[in-house]
Structures are given as structure tokens and as C-alpha cells.
Structure 1
Amino acid sequence: MSHVDPGLDEPMRQAEKDVERNDNQPTEDQAKKEEEVYLDPGRWWLASTAFPLIAGTFGPISNAFSICALAIKWRVYIPPDTNEAHGQPLADPKWLTAINAISLAFALVANIALSLSMARRLSFGIAQAIIISGWYIASFLLIGLVAACSTSMFLLQPKTDHALTQAYYYGIIAAALYFIIASMMVMTTIGAYTGHYRKGFKLTSSQRTLMLQTIMFMVYLLLGALVYSHIEGWPFLDALFWAEFTLLTVGLGGEFVPLTHSGRGLLFPYAIAGIVMLGLVVGSVRSLALERGKQKMSARLLEMRRESVIRSLDNHEGSVKLGAFEKIKVKQPLSERERREEEFKIMRRVQRKADKRRRYYALAMSSLAACLLWCLGAMVFWFSEKPQGWSYFVSLYFTYTTLLTIGYGDYTPQSNSAKPFFVFWTLLAVPTLTILISNMGDTVIQAFEDLTIWLGSITVLPDEGGFQALKVGFQRLREGKLYKSPDNEDEKNQGSAEEIILDRLARHMEEEEIEEAEEAETELDSLERDIRFYHFVLAKEIRALMKDVSMSPPKEYTYHEWAYFLLLLGQDESDASHHTRPGLKHTILPHEPDLGTAEGVEHENRWSWLGIRSPLMSNQSEAQWLLERLTMTLELEMRKMQPANRKEAELNPPPISMRDFRSKHRKSDPHSPSHPQSKSTSKSLGPDKLLDQGVSRAEVRRRHG
């Protein structure tokens, strides 16, 4: 049975096989490394990066809570007409204090080992053994103490006259954190020893900075609590509770407000320095969420969408399904360049859809985390503050005003269990709300901004489109973006790929630096002339790309621009030999960029825009990808300038030739003297006029002596 072939059947099927056989296909070193960086960390990023980062961040917090658990007694007697917050401490058994101190010592040793390992001062294997065993031992010791203390409470009579202190609940939180982060480090060790990543911590400088900032903030918090406990006469853990809601700008007030002149005067520098430190932590969390989380989520969602599109090819209809309600029908027959352009357009649409899905998926996940933090936190406060008559609705009200740092102060935690939980809960809220606000900036806030611009274009800004913008606006709304930058206009307004390439090369031909190359008119000097021209073009484009690399958001190039850059890399989009189906091998050509293999070694260097090797699938930005390849190409070309490599240069000339360019440019340019429309007038034009119309100086000298 015959079927309709849209022209993308074979490349898409081959790309699908490339996905399924990715681990078995032989590739050159750099390409294989890029695939591993792109795919593997998406599955093991949590174990390789996120878990060590969480351990390095919450490890010091756990140590701080252990110090709080050791600071005061664990049980109190409640005199008549008072509450547990003002109870009289009962002496702890000596063994309880000793075991508590031993637990803290093991946890501190584990934290030191983690820091030394991240600084590469201690081997990974030894450090992991110390870290995991230290935190597990610290956790189990605290769990035993908590159980023993809970049991002893049943032996005290009457039970209503006795209560557990804040230190007891800090011990519970510390034990839970030690156990969780130790389990995370077990997963990190398993991933390293099973070969999914190197035996070491893959943390960037920004991630290490976040860890250091967290340690500094916790030390600052504890020192402030210690100072104010002496100045104001508060218990140490109550002073810690005050320092927490002060530095987080919640401002609950209640019975804990500075009353002495020393306390109020010291508040000026203490509060401002603490808020600045908190701001640094928030900035680091936000940059990490954008730096790593966004990148890895985008990579996985893009790969999933790409595989889905490849498998959706309908040979009978000649269509490709991009979504639940979107199909693209591909015309046929197609030339090689047209086929590649269709691949590129489909891949670009896949990128757009994957990015949109990533933004709203991240928003949904962060919103869910914030809602859980709100509702579950309210549930804990509800149970903890039942003696104060809190209902669940009151707890929701309190947690909501606290998360938004409104802090009316009409409800304040009073129980010994609620205050430690408040300190931990608010610390957990900092990264949760930071990530939520960042994700809202990419979606909700951006939508409001685009809506404002769109409404302005049809109301107060009639010069920018008037009511005609309404039709365009609804079209952009359907595409998921109300405002469209002029840089992203359709390629149909830019001319064909051939015209784009000729125009860009024409700009380089007008440069004064190329005059020497133009003057080489003999056949013997044509190769040197083309090499000089090629080197000059590469250098100019590299300089232009360096500006594009720093653009935010990252610059995206049209297909015609990609065709131009690939031509400079020796890969002509109209030549099927450079990009036939993935999986085929060919011998590396001297004029191609060396991607990590020795010259003459067969490797897989052919790729599809829809394949895993596509530049659009790279974890680099498009400008970074091109800059790296063009730079490598220029380095390889410079080696040919040596006299010993002259023969190689003759066998493999540059991919662009000034003679071919002039021939094509004159045929496509109606102002060119060789163009049919200009033959009758070319002789009457003076030298200056010809130069203005793009005619080379050598051609002008030939015509006018």
C-alpha cells in the first residue's frame, strides 16, 4: 500500500532510533559528553547536586537546633495559674545531657567532613563514610533521648502539672533533619559508586555560596538570641524565637519586644544586618532555582516532547502532531534545504511548547509546595495552640499573615512546641516562597505585563497599531505570548536563505581589511585570497556572537541565520552529505571543526534538527554553541597557515569562496553590472557609483582602468 511521505518520515524515524539506541551508538567524545550532560543529570541531578546542596544547607541548621536542644532542660513543672511557657525547669539526668552532647559532637564532625570534602581536602569515600555514619548516629541518639524523655513524662504525677520544653522539640526536629540528610547522602554515594557521575560533589560556586550564607545566618541568629537573652532577661530559646520573627520581618510582637534602651539601640544594626544577610540567601536561592532547576527541568521536558513528536508522525496524512490540538502538514516533495527547514521549524515549535509547559509545571509545583507549607503548618499550629483556643481557621489566618510577613501580632504562638516549629517552618518558607515568586515572574507576572502592553496598544497607544492590534493580540494570546519582540518576526520577511547568506557576506566584502585579499586576481593566489576572507569572516562573526552570548533572554536565531553559520562550519544545509540520517558514519573532513577525535577517525558527525545531537537540544544557549564551534573552526583553520599544511589546505579549501560569492551576488543583485537588468547601464556608471553599489574595487579597476 502506498502512503504519503511528507519528507520528514525517514529523518524522524531515524531520530527515534537514535533516542532508543543512544547508549549503544558510537559518538565522538565531545558529542557523547554533551548527551550525558543533557540526559543523565536529568535523572541523577537530585543525587549528584541537589542532595549535597540540601545537606550542606540544612546540616548547619540541624546543628543549630541541636545546640538549642542542649541549651536548656527538657522538662518543666507548671505552677498554678501559669502555662508551660513560664514553667519551672526540672533537672535532667546526667546521662541525658551527656548523650545529647555526644549527638551534637557526631553531627559537627559530619558537617566538618562534608565541608572538607566539598573543598577537596578529604577524599570522597572517607568523607561519605564519616558524614553518613555521623549524622545517622546523631539522629539515633536524639531519637532515643526523645523516646526516653517521653516515657519519663508518664511517670510524673500529676501529668497536667508537667510539660516538655522547647529544647525537647528542637531535639525532635534535629533528629528528623539528621536522618533525612544522611539518607540523601546515601543516595549520593550510591549514584557515584554506580558510575552515574564522578566521585565528588558537583557544586558550583553559587551553590557553595548559599551554604556559606546559610551558616553565617544561623550563627548570626544564635548570637543575636544569646545577646538579647542577657539584655532583656529572656530565656535563650524565647530570644531565638524573637530573633527569627524579627529578621524575617514578620514582627509578631506580643510579650517579646525590646524594653531596655540597650535592646532598642542594638536593634538598629542587628536588624538591618540580618535582613541584608537574609536577602543574600534569598538571592542565592533564586539564582540556583533559575540556574540549575530551570535548566534540568527544561532539558527533560524538551526531550519528552521531542520523543512524543517523533512518534506522532502519520505517514498516511503526511502530518506531524505537535500537541493535543495541533498538527502540521508538510508539503511534498521537498528539496534537501526545504526538508531541513521544516525539521527546524518543527523543532522550534517543540522548544516553545516544552518551555511553556516547563514554566507552568514549575509554577504548579511551587504553588503546591507553598500551599502544603501553609496548610500543614496551620495544622501543626492548630494542635500546638489548642490550649490557647486556636481553631484551624485561626491557624490558617496566622500562617497566611506570617508567610506574607504581614505580622499583625493579634495571634502569637505560646506553647513550647509551637515556638520551635515556628523557627523551623519560617526557615523552610524562605526558599519555598522565593522559588514560587520566581516562577510567578515567568508566568503570571509576565502575562500581566504583556496584557498591559497589549491593552495599551489599543487604548492609550494608538500609534502602535490601534484596533488592528486586537486581531494580532488574539493570535499571540492563542500562541501563549501577547507581546512579541521585533527580533522574532517571521522569516518570510527576511528573504530566502541564499539571500541572507549573500547579504551577510556582502557586508564583510565591504570591509577595508579585505582589500588585500580582493586584489589577488590570479588563479595561483585565489586559494590564499579565500583563506584570508574565510578567516576574516570567522573572526568578525565570533566578535558578533560574543555580544549575543550575554543577551537576556538568550538570543534565538532563525533558520536562515543557522544556515549561514553552519555554512561557515563547513556544513551546507543544501548538501545532504553533511546531515544525512543520524547513525551513519563518515570520515572527518579537515575543514570541519574537530570535536574531540583524531583526524581521519570515523565518527558520527551527521545530525538531524529533530535528533538528540541537534544544536537546539544543547544545554548551551544557541549563541554559546555557535561561538564554541566557530572558535574551534578558526583554531583549526589557523593551523593550515603553516607551510607544512599547504597541501592539506589545497585539498580542503574554505567552505566559502570569494569568486562564487561574487558570481551569485551579481546575479541576485539588480544593481550589479553583471545583472541582466544592468547591462545597458553598467558601462555608464562611474567608479564611485559602482563602489556604492557593492562592486569590488578589483572589478572597478578592471572596468575603468
Structure 2
Amino acid sequence: MNDPGLDEPISDASAVLKEHIEDNPPSAHHNAQTSENAGQNPYFNEDSPETLEDTYDKMSEEEQERNFLMPARWWYASTGIPLLAGTFGPMANAFSICALVENWRVKIPPGGTEEHGIDIRDPPWLIAVNAVSLTMALIANAALLLNMGRRVPFKVSQPVTILGFWIASVLLIGLITYASSSESFHKGIKGQALTQAYYYAIFAAGLYQIISYLMCVTVYGAYRGHFSKEFKLTVAQRTLMLQTIAFLVYLLLGALIYSHIEGWKFLDAVYWADFTSLTIGIGGEYTPSTHLGRGLLFPFAMAGIIILGLVVGSIRSLILERGKKKMAARLTEKTRVRLLNEIQKISKEKRLLRRKGAMGLEKDTTKALTVDPGEGEMSELERRQAEFEAMRKVQAWAATERKYISLGVSTFAFAFLWTIGALVFEHAEKNQGWSYFESLYFSYTTLLTIGYGDFQPMSNSGKPFFVFWSLLAVPTLTILISDMGDTVIKAVKDVTIWLGEITVLPSDEDTLSNRLKHGVYRVTLGQLDLRKTAGDIEKSADNENEGSGFREMHPGLARVFGNSQRKQRQPEKDRKTEDRLAADFEETEKKDEDDARNKGEKWEQDEHHYRHVLISQLRRVYADAQAATPKKYSYDEWQYFLKLLGENEDDATYHRKAPTHAEEEREANQVEENNNQAGGNAGADEQRRGDMGRQGGAYTGGRGGEDDDVQITKWSWVGAQSPLMGDKEEAEWLLERFFQRLEESLSSEAKTKQTEKGKEYTTGLHETQQGEDQSDNSERTMSRS
């Protein structure tokens, strides 16, 4: 989700709370040593270098996704292109190795075919240039990977990467052109044909060219300031690149071993290793025939399938957790902007153009969006609730659009790979007389890993293309199946469950009529419930919200930010330990509140009461953050949470009418112009940090202390700074704000106690000095006497 309320990253929650609990045990919370330890706690010092550096390293993993308003083209340039380069660069290196290890020409014997030709030795200069090309590509790929691992600076690695890939491709293109068109290369020998190594060189050169030009786009965007000059790839993205390298190395090593065991050519063994590891199983003349080869197949195939499964899992994780989240955020932003433009148009015309209002919204909701805060036509709470409901509609529209766009794109990619692949196979296997339909049949059975074996590529051009094409099929099929899981497969599953419940499967409904009504309720995703009246549905929804997550208690307070995999269940022992820590902390605050009340210290009592309530809500919201299905809170729940963070929803002071995209750009340009006039880049950066820290009154000020004099930036539920916008789930967004509030409160208490202790120390010194002066005066008086 968007991050409007943080001008600095939040410290690790477990460290904060554990440090506080260790320094403040319930039995000795008020002693002097506690105050001293709290004041010396580095997590309460916002300038602590160690804390901020560690937090930056952790937060930078998701920096690309958090900047969800970045235009899509620059997001692809900053994240997508480096990921493609890091994945396809090693593939191109593998193809370069295949182009180097065998000769580029064969002599076709009389009555024979090119796949069984006799090798013709390449000239030494061709081998040398080929080796130089491979060396340059390996250096370029190493520089790229080291830069992604933050071992080599961007300004050093990127010229090496781009020039290395480009030079490697130019050298290969020169060799390919010479081998295909020069008469001197083929002079003196009749019946020649180009080998698989030649075609592997074509694929390698093409990939090198594409990667080098794409990386130029990335460098241009970085130096233009559209994104950071560092590749801040996530763990899933780095893992995918490493697993791809491991899979390609495994294929080449397996091919090398089997080429010696079975007596195959190395590139024929690469072809065999590819269709074996991908579980296609074409067979033909390339099947293990020796006992050693068949025996080694057991571990080779199993390990290959495991590595391939890891690659598929990483692709799926990357698409589900990164790509879909980014796409959903972009579509939500576009839908929001489209809604605001319609609202602006309606406001100018002073009438509702359609019965349903803007983009199908209710007429009353549309009218509320045209009203400025505090105008008096309706209560501020009603206006804000209408904004909230409109934003929920925007989210629903964007989610539906995202699912079907993803399905359409992945289906098109599969169809393109299928049909274009069939076209290439038709031309490559013209010696076998394949028709286009037969090529289409072969491509389909191969993509689905059926592998009948009745058709198989035999030509020197068909085998290399098969390896390249089948490797492209891995991410394509993975994405397609993932997208079908959100739409087609889910619909089939719902229909199957519905048919089962109205026929033979057990159901909670007693009669066939109730089963049919329940089936309609399931199929319509809860939008149409024929079983109950509107009042019953509302009551049921309230009960569901009360019992689903908002009222649940969860022990995991100490690991909210340490546990990034929120869907994984924690061990029972860890949950009990964290429950005890969180419960002790909450009980300590309750005890301190009672002590302050007995002492008549109103301010301290309020602080402890606030922290007690805050911790209780932290534990409840954390349960929602750990749930498999993200929790979406109702407006009443958001109203309570925002009030806990320091803002009242019925107070128009914090609110504004959502600006359109054009208005936001004008405001941003105005802020940038003011920053430039304020004094240089350093001042502008600090001003931007201050502005970001003040986005929304609910997030920074309002409870006393140093932030009370901060000018609050007004915000809207339908604005770009809405808590419902961005890539974070609502529970995660709230957890960060709650922890920020808790940290601020603890830090304020520590500073207050330090100040009081300093005053007591100064007062004690003053009293001691007065006593010594009185004693000296008494001694002088007695001496004179």
C-alpha cells in the first residue's frame, strides 16, 4: 500500500519490543535503571546509523513495488529489463558454448542427411573469434550479476555489461554472415551443410543484441532520474536468476556425460537432456541404450525435475507476488483517475449525467464525491463514507480487469509460441515433409509435455530451435496456468462445488431449495443471497467481521516485520513465546496506567492507556496480516483505527476533495519549483521527506509532542495518498502506523524520564552545594569566635 506517513523507515518491531521488555520487566518497570536503559536504547534514537542502515537494507527489497505510481514503462526498465537480462544472459552464454564446442560445417555423404554428416574442421581464426565472443559475454554477464548483488558499482558494471554483450553479438554476427554467404568458407567441398553449432550461434547473437539494447534503456532511465541507479531486485527475482543458471549448467553437464556414455554428439546430447528434463520425452534414436546410461537416468531425471520445479515455483512466486501486485496497482490508479475525471466533468455541468452516476456508482455516492469538505450539504462522515465506498468499487473494477487482462495476455503468448513455433518447425523439417498442421500438432503435444514421439525434429536447425523454444515455453505455460487459476479454473471449481452441494455431497442446507439458493450465493461470490432478507445479510456480515479477524487475538506481535512470509504457520513454541512477550508488554502498560492514576499524573496515565489500547489493536490486526486471505476492513473499522492514530473522520480539517491527475501534476510541479527556490537539491530532498512525512493527519501528528506544530496535508479516500492505494495490504499498512506510534510514544517517554532525571540530578547538585556553603560559613564563624 502507499506509504504517506513515514519520512523514515520503521525499525524492526521485534527488536523494539524485545529490547523494551528486557529493559522493562513487569516487576521493576519504574526503577531508575529502567529509565536509564530506555534512554540509551538505540532503537529510540532515530539517528542511530546501525538501525537505519539495517532497516534500509531490509526495506530496499520492496522499494520498486512500493513506488506503484511509477509509469509502467519505467517500472519495466528498472525491474523487468534487468530481470530479463539476468535470466536470458546465462541462456545466451550456454548457447555460445554450444556454438564453440563443435564445428560449423559437415559434409553430407551420398544418399545421407545433414544430421549424420561428417564434420569439417573450422579454421583456427573462426574458433578464436568465437572464443573471444564467449569471453566477452561471460564478462558482461558476470558484471551484471555482480552489480545486482551490489558488489560492483552501477557506473562501472553497466558499460561493461552493455559493451560486452554488444561486442559478443557483433563478433558472432560477423561469423554467421561469413559462414552463410562466403564462397571461400565452403570452397573445395561439395555437399556441405551447416551444423547445430551455427544455429546456436544465431540464437546467442540475437539474445546478446536484445539484452544490450534493453540495458541501454535501463541506463538511460537511471541517469534521467526516473529510478535508482542500483538494481534493488527482490529475493524471488535473484533466486530465479540463480536457479536458471543452475538449470542450464545442469543441462550442459548432463549432456557432456551422456555424450561420452552413449556415443552421441555433444549437441545431440543437449537436445536429449532438454526434452528429458522438461519431461517431454520425444524419444526416437536419442534414448539411453547402455546399462550405465539407463542407471544414471534415475538421478539425472529426478534432479532435473527438482531444479525445473524450483524455477517454475520462482516464476509463479514472481508473477503472483510481484507482477500481479504491480499490475493491480497500476490498474487501480488508472481506474481511480478515470473516476475522478468523470466526477470533475459532472461537477462542472452541475448535474448527474446518468441515472447511476459516474462509472455505474450510485447516484448518492456520485453526488457526495462532487461535494467539497465542510460545505454543509451533507455531514462530513457521510461524505467520507461515500468516498470510501467509491474507492472499494475502484478496487473491485481494477481487480476484475487485471485478472482478465492477465489471462488474455498469457493466452496470446501461448498461442503465439504455439503457432509461430509450428511455422518454424514446418520450414526446418521440410526434408521430412511436415505440413503446417502436422507441425501444429507436434508443437501442441510438446508444449503440453505429452511427447508422443511420432514426430520429432531431425534437422540441424530444428534441434537448436527446439531447445530454445521449449525453454521459452516454461515461463509461458507457468504464467498461463497461474492466470487460469484466478479465472477459468476458479469458475469451474465453484460450479463443481455447487453441483455437488445440490446433488450428493454433504451440505449445511437441509432442503434442495435451500441448496440451490446456497449455490447461487456461492456462484455470485456472495453478491446475491436468496436465503435471507437484507437485514439478515447485514447482520450476518457484521457477525462475520466480528469473528473473522478484527476480534481475533494473535501472539505474533514480536515478529511482524521479521516474518515476511505471513502465510506460513509459526511453530507452536514460537507462538507461545511471542504471545507471552506481547501479553507481558500489554499487562505492563495496564499496570503503569493504574499506578499513574493513583499518583494523579494525568498525562502519564493517558500515555499508558493509549499504549495499552494500541498494543491490543496491534495484536488483533496482526492476526489479519497473517491470514491467507487479505483482510479488507469496513469503514467503521477504518474510522476507529484512524481515530486511534490521531484523526477524526468527521473533522473536515484533515480532508480535501480528491484532485484529478492534472491537478496532482500541477501541485507536484509547484512543490518542485518551491523546493528549487528554497535552496538546492539538499533542501529539496529534505522538503520532500518532510512533505511525505506529513501526508495525512492520521499518520504523523495529533497526540501532542514535537509533531503538534507540523502543518498537516489534507487527503482523500479517493486520492493518491489514500491508505487503500498501493501494494501493501491494509493490515500491513496499519501495522506500520501502529508501530510508528508505539515507537514514538516509547521514545517520548524515555526522553521525558531522562529530562526528569537530569532535573533531579541538577537539583541534587544545587542542594549539595548549598549545604557545603552553609558548612563553610559555620566553620568560619566558629573560627572568628
**TM-score of the pair, normalised by structure 1:** 0.79
Q: C-alpha distance in 2, partners of 1:469/1:349? A: 30
1:50 and 2:80 aligned: yes
Alignment pair present for 1:467 and 2:543: no
1:9-33 CA-to-partner distances (Å, cap 9, x unmatched) read xxxxxxxxxxxxx9xxx998479x9
Q: Does residue 375 of structure 1 match 2:481? A: no
Residue 529 of structure 1: how far off its partner (Å): 3.6
Q: 1:308 to 1:478 in 2, by over 3 A?
A: farther
**Percent pairwise identity:** 52
In the TM superposition, what whole-angstrom CA distance separates every residue of 1:621-663 from its partner, at most 9, and x where no partner exists?
1000000001111222234435848999xxxxxxxxxxxxxxx
1:437 aligns with 2:513: no
Residues in 1 aligned to 2:165 and 2:321: alpha-carbon distance in whole angstroms: 29
Q: Secondary structure at the match of 2:106?
A: strand
Change (3 A) 1:256 1:380: same
Q: Given the alignment of the two structures, is residue 39 of structure 1 paired with residue 147 of structure 2, yes or no?
A: no
- Residue 361 of structure 1 is aligned with which of 376, 385, 405? 405
- Residue by residue, what CA displacement relative to the aligned partner does 1:114-135 show, whole Å, maximum 9, x if unpaired? 1221222211111111100010
1:96 is aligned, of 105, 126, 129, to 126
Q: 1:406 to 1:504 in 2, by over 3 A?
A: closer
Name the counterpart of 1:652: none
- Match of 1:406? 450
| Mapped partners of 1:587, 1:273: distance in 2 | 51
Q: Is the 8 A contact 1:52 1:185 kept in 2?
A: yes
- Match in the other structure for 2:733: 625
Q: Secondary structure at the match of 1:467?
A: helix
Q: Alignment partner of 2:70: what SS?
A: helix
Q: 1:533 to 1:493 in 2, by over 3 A?
A: farther
Residue 329 of structure 2 corresponds to residue 286 of structure 1: no
Question: Which stretch has the larger CA shift, 432-441 or 638-647?
Answer: 638-647
> Which residue number in structure 2 is paired with residue 664 of structure 1?
none
Whichever residue aligns with residue 567 of structure 1, its letter is K
Query: Quick one: which of 678, 687, 700 aligns to 1:594?
Result: 700
Instruction: Say which SS state the counterpart of residue 459 (structure 1) adopts.
Output: coil
Which position in structure 1 is the counterpart of 2:248?
A: 218
Return the alpha-carbon distance in structure 1 between the equivalents of residues 613 and 133 of structure 2. Answer: 66
Whether the aligned pair in 1 keeps the contact of 2:64 and 2:232 (CA below 8 Å) is: no
Aligned AA (1:568): L
SS in 1 for 2:68: helix
Q: Deviations over 1:141-182 (max 9, x none)?
A: 111111100013697589982211000000000000000111
Aligned 1:21-420 pairs, distance under 5 A: 29=7, 37-40=67-70, 42-152=72-182, 156=186, 161-313=191-343, 314=346, 315-317=350-352, 327-330=362-365, 333-420=377-464
With over 3 angstroms needed to count, the CA separation of the structure-2 counterparts of 1:480 and 1:297, relative to structure 1, is farther
Do the aligned residues in 1 keep the contact of 2:255 with 2:269 (CA within 8 Å)?
yes
- State the one-letter code of the partner of 1:634: L
Structure 1 Cα separation of the partners of residues 500 and 379 of structure 2: 44
Query: What CA deviation, in whole Å up to 9, does each residue of 1:532-562 have, x standing for no partner?
Result: 2221110111122222212222111111111
SS in 1 for 2:749: coil
- Give the AA of the match of 2:433: G
* Greater mean deviation of Cα atoms: 586-595 or 39-48: 586-595
* Match in the other structure for 1:540: 616
| C-alpha displacement of 1:571 | 1.1
> Using a 3 Å threshold, how does the CA distance of structure 1 residues 458 and 572 change in structure 2: closer, same or farther?
farther
Give the match for residue 674 of structure 1.
none
Name the CA distance, whole Å, in 2 between partners of 1:590 and 1:316.
30
Choose which of 629, 632, 641 in structure 1 pairs with 2:749.
641
3-state SS of paired residue (2:700): coil
Give the equivalent residue in structure 1 for 2:635: 559
The partner residue of 1:421 within 465, 470, 484 is: 465
**Alpha carbons of structure 1 residues 103 and 539: separation in structure 2 relative to 1, 3 Å:** same
What is the alpha-carbon distance in structure 2 between the residues aligned to residue 220 and residue 35 of structure 1? 32
Runs of at least 5 residues in structure 1 that lack an aligned partner in the other structure: 1-21, 649-705
Take 1:280 and 1:234, find their aligned partners in 2: how far apart are those partners?
A: 29
Determine helix, strand or coil for the equivalent of 1:89.
strand
Q: CA deviation at 1:295?
A: 1.2
Who is 1:611 aligned against?
719
Q: Matched residues in 2 for 1:625 and 1:215: separation? A: 36
Separation of aligned partners in 1, 2:754 and 2:379: 36
Residue identity in the other structure for 1:563: Q
Offset of 1:482 from its aligned partner? 8.8
- How far 1:92 moved relative to its partner? 1.7
Alpha-carbon separation, structure 2, partners of 1:420 and 1:309: 51
Paired residue secondary structure (1:213): helix
Q: CA shift at 1:185, angstroms?
A: 0.8
Amino acid in structure 1 at the alignment position of 2:351 = H
Provide the C-alpha distance between the structure 1 equivalents of 2:361 and 2:524, rounded to a whole number of angstroms: 12
Shift of 1:473: 5.2
Specify the alignment match of 2:34 in structure 1.
none
> Aligned equivalents of 1:565 and 1:99: distance in 2?
67
1:588 touches 1:600 (CA, 8 Å); kept in 2? no
Amino acid aligned to 1:566: L
Letter of the structure 2 residue corresponding to residue 335 of structure 1: S
Matches within 5 A, 1:515-526: 517=593, 524-526=600-602
Please name the residue that 2:567 is paired with: none
* C-alpha distance after superposition, 1:408-459 (max 9, x if no partner): 0000100000000000001111011111111111111111222223333433
Once the two structures are superposed, residues 60-104 of structure 1 have per-residue CA deviations (whole angstroms, 9 ceiling, x without a partner) of 110110111111111111112211100111222222111111111
Cα contact 2:502–2:519 (8 A) shared by 1: no
Counterpart-to-counterpart distance in 2, 1:97 and 1:643:
72
Q: Which amino acid aligns with 2:513?
A: F
Whether the 8 Å contact between 2:5 and 2:693 is mirrored in structure 1 is no
Does the C-alpha gap of structure 1 residues 493 and 109 become closer, same or farther in structure 2, counting only changes over 3 Å?
A: same
For residues 285 and 127 of structure 1, what CA distance do their matches in structure 2 show? Answer: 26
- Give the Å deviation of 1:226: 0.7
Task: Give, as a single letter, the amino acid of the residue that structure 2 aligns with 1:635.
Answer: E
Equivalent pairs counted in the alignment come to 612
CA distance in 2, matches of 1:436, 1:492: 40
**Do the aligned residues in 1 keep the contact of 2:643 with 2:698 (CA within 8 Å)?**
no
CA offset digits 1:183-208 (Å, max 9, x no partner): 11111101110001111112112211
Distance 1:295 1:306 in 2: 16
Q: Which runs of 5+ in 2 are unaligned?
A: 10-62, 369-376, 553-582, 660-666, 668-690, 757-785
TM-score by structure 2 length?
0.71
The reply to whether residue 456 of structure 1 matches residue 500 of structure 2 is yes
**Judging changes above 3 Å, is the alpha-carbon distance between structure 1 residues 591 and 49 closer, same or farther for their aligned structure 2 residues?**
closer
Q: What is the alpha-carbon distance in structure 2 between the residues aligned to residue 335 and residue 633 of structure 1?
A: 29
- Residue pair 2:494, 2:523 contacting (<8 A) in 1 also: no
Q: Aligned partner of 2:463: which letter?
A: K
Distance 1:550 1:558 in 2: 18
Report the secondary structure of 1:615's partner residue: coil
Contact 1:75 1:92 in 2 (8 A): yes
SS of alignment partner, residue 641 of structure 1: helix
